[in-house]
Amino acid sequence: MNRNVLLMVLILLAPLSGCRPAAQESRFELDAAQFDGQAAFAELKRFVGLGARDAGTPGAANAARYLHARLKASGLTMDIDEFVAPSPQGSTTFRNVIGRLPGTGSNLVIVASHYDTKMGIGGEFQGANDSGSSTAVVLELAGLAARAAARQKPGDTLLFVFFDGEECMEHYGAADGLQGSRHFVKQLERDGQASLVKAMILLDMVGDRHLTFTVPRNSSPKLMTWLFNAARDEDVRSMFSLYPYEIGDDHDPFLRAGIPAIDLIDFLFGSSPGRNDYWHTPEDRIDKISPESLQISGRVTVRLLNRVMEDDPRVQP
Ligand SMILES: [Zn+2]
């Protein structure tokens, strides 16, 4: 090729380099492999170190402030929603902590845990699994999502919600237990936003060294299928089974409002397979939790969350 021809070729090609077709916009997706169980375990240790978090006590208020500060550092828009509701102890102050990552569309996806401890257990109750483990995993998930969102905005707005008052003081009822989630759903309905929620993914008791998820019957079938697929893809399908019973938990008010919801709970937290005898006892301590279990829970949740963002569980079938 002589110099003139080369020059001609370069001139002809030049405009092309300036108007390359834009790279196809990629989908917002989180990388499950980036969920770090050791980091979640360190998070759990710090959180449990704060002490008991019984609803309506200074310990719960302190835990709410802590969660707010932890997520603020990750770049999420943070809010503490303080409200007063009747409880067996009279009018009680509760606080939901909400981290928000705005998306480009109008839909919402909620990932949640409660953070309060069951009162009256004694023995310097840690609530390491119930509710420290899920609180730590949701904190890590929020951090992971915030880092990804700094590069590319998600399509759906992601809400990372920490509910107060999940534990009942006496008996579950209209004025006891599920306080934070009931209040949250009421607000969604009041603001006309309930129909915008694609799914609510609840984590509760997700750190047992012997991880055996027992997904309660009162979860949305489509989300169950997607969860089991996520577990299969993470090569931990055998740790997930369908529980033959319903479990009253923070996902329930969402289901009642017609919002697809699922509860990732391991309700076999005990001294031997099939038992749940550590639950709501002083035995629920950090020595029963493993970083590996937190990692599995986190990574499976990432895969489920990706599926929810990519698809829509509200669409039938
Ligand atoms: Zn509990």
The CATH number linked to 153 is 3.40.630.10
Considering only residues 80 and 124, tell me which one the structure prediction assigns the higher pLDDT.
80
Task: Examine the pLDDT at 19 and tell me if it is beyond 50.
Answer: no
| Nearest alpha-carbon partner for 90 in 45, 56, 131, 65 | 56
Residue holding tokens 């299928």? 225
What amino acid is encoded at 109 in this protein? V
Encode burial over 269-303: b for 16+ CB neighbours within 10 A, e otherwise.
bbeeeeebebbbbebbbbebbbbebbbbbbbbbbb
Mean pLDDT, rounded, for 34-38:
98
For residue 172, how far is its CA from the centre of ligand 1 (angstroms)?
12
For residue 183, how far is its CA from the centre of ligand 1 (angstroms)?
18
d(CA 101, CA 78): 9
Q: Are strands 90-101 and 77-87 parallel, antiparallel or unpaired?
A: antiparallel
How sure is the predictor about 167, in pLDDT bands with cuts at 50, 70 and 90? very high
Q: What is the reported pLDDT for 25?
A: 61
**Cβ 154 vs Cβ 145: under 8 Å:** yes
Average pLDDT across the chain, whole number: 93
Mean pLDDT, rounded, for 254-259:
98
**Residue 235 belongs to some domain of the structure:** yes
Task: Examine the pLDDT at 16 and tell me if it is beyond 50.
Answer: no
Mean pLDDT, rounded, for 110-129:
96
Q: Model confidence over 114-123: pLDDT tens digits?
A: 999 999 998 8
Where do the H-state alpha helices sit in 191-251? Answer: 221-233
Q: What's the domain range around 91?
A: 46-308
For residue 132, how far is its CA from the centre of ligand 1 (angstroms)?
10
Q: What is the reported pLDDT for 2?
A: 56
For residue 117, how far is its CA from the centre of ligand 1 (angstroms)?
7
Task: Examine the pLDDT at 9 and tell me if it is beyond 80.
Answer: no
For residue 265, how far is its CA from the centre of ligand 1 (angstroms)?
11
For residue 242, how far is its CA from the centre of ligand 1 (angstroms)?
20
Mean pLDDT, rounded, for 90-104:
97
**Residue 241 belongs to some domain of the structure:** yes
Mean pLDDT, rounded, for 16-43:
79
| Per-residue tokens: 232 | 């299969």
Q: Angle between the 134-151 and 291-310 helix axes, to the nearest 10 degrees?
A: 50
Mean pLDDT, rounded, for 218-232:
98
Please count the other Cβ atoms lying within 10 Å of the Cβ belonging to residue 267.
21
d(CA 96, CA 180): 6
Give how many domains the chain has, as a whole number.
Answer: 1
For residue 147, how far is its CA from the centre of ligand 1 (angstroms)?
31
For residue 49, how far is its CA from the centre of ligand 1 (angstroms)?
18
pLDDT > 70 fraction of the chain, expressed in percent and rounded: 92
| Per-residue tokens: 140 | 């890590």
Q: What is the reported pLDDT for 18?
A: 43
Q: Give 276-315 as a DSSP string.
A: -TTTTSTT--GGGB-HHHHHHHHHHHHHHHHHHHHS-TTS
What amino acid is encoded at 55 in this protein? A
**Residue 16 belongs to some domain of the structure:** no
How sure is the predictor about 24, in pLDDT bands with cuts at 50, 70 and 90? low
Task: Examine the pLDDT at 101 and tell me if it is beyond 90.
Answer: yes
For residue 78, how far is its CA from the centre of ligand 1 (angstroms)?
25
Please count the other Cβ atoms lying within 10 Å of the Cβ belonging to residue 69.
11
Q: What is the reported pLDDT for 21?
A: 47
Task: Examine the pLDDT at 238 and tell me if it is beyond 90.
Answer: yes
Instruction: Indicate the SS3 state at residue 151.
Output: helix
Task: Examine the pLDDT at 194 and tell me if it is beyond 90.
Answer: yes
| Per-residue tokens: 107 | 């839909």
**Residue 286 belongs to some domain of the structure:** yes
| Per-residue tokens: 2 | 């002589």
**Residue 191 belongs to some domain of the structure:** yes
d(CA 134, CA 117): 12
For residue 281, how far is its CA from the centre of ligand 1 (angstroms)?
10
| Per-residue tokens: 176 | 């006891």
For residue 179, how far is its CA from the centre of ligand 1 (angstroms)?
13
Mean pLDDT, rounded, for 220-234:
98
Q: What is the reported pLDDT for 317?
A: 61
| Nearest alpha-carbon partner for 185 in 112, 241, 90, 119 | 112
How sure is the predictor about 42, in pLDDT bands with cuts at 50, 70 and 90? very high
**Cβ 270 vs Cβ 207: under 8 Å:** no
For residue 58, how far is its CA from the centre of ligand 1 (angstroms)?
19
For residue 57, how far is its CA from the centre of ligand 1 (angstroms)?
17
For residue 167, how far is its CA from the centre of ligand 1 (angstroms)?
6
For residue 232, how far is its CA from the centre of ligand 1 (angstroms)?
28
**Residue 238 belongs to some domain of the structure:** yes
pTM across the whole model: 0.92
In angstroms, the first-to-last Cα distance of the chain is: 62
d(CA 162, CA 74): 16
How sure is the predictor about 74, in pLDDT bands with cuts at 50, 70 and 90? confident
Task: Examine the pLDDT at 56 and tell me if it is beyond 70.
Answer: yes
For residue 204, how far is its CA from the centre of ligand 1 (angstroms)?
8
Residue holding tokens 């998820």? 213
For residue 21, how far is its CA from the centre of ligand 1 (angstroms)?
54
Task: Examine the pLDDT at 20 and tell me if it is beyond 70.
Answer: no
d(CA 269, CA 280): 10
For residue 166, how far is its CA from the centre of ligand 1 (angstroms)?
7
pLDDT > 90 fraction of the chain, expressed in percent and rounded: 88
Q: What is the reported pLDDT for 115?
A: 98
Q: Model confidence over 296-305: pLDDT tens digits?
A: 999 999 999 9
Number of residues assigned to the chain: 317
For residue 305, how far is its CA from the centre of ligand 1 (angstroms)?
24
Mean pLDDT, rounded, for 52-62:
97
For residue 56, how far is its CA from the centre of ligand 1 (angstroms)?
16
**Cβ 107 vs Cβ 88: under 8 Å:** no
**Cβ 261 vs Cβ 255: under 8 Å:** yes
**Residue 1 belongs to some domain of the structure:** no
Where do the H-state alpha helices sit in 128-243? Answer: 134-151, 179-190, 221-233
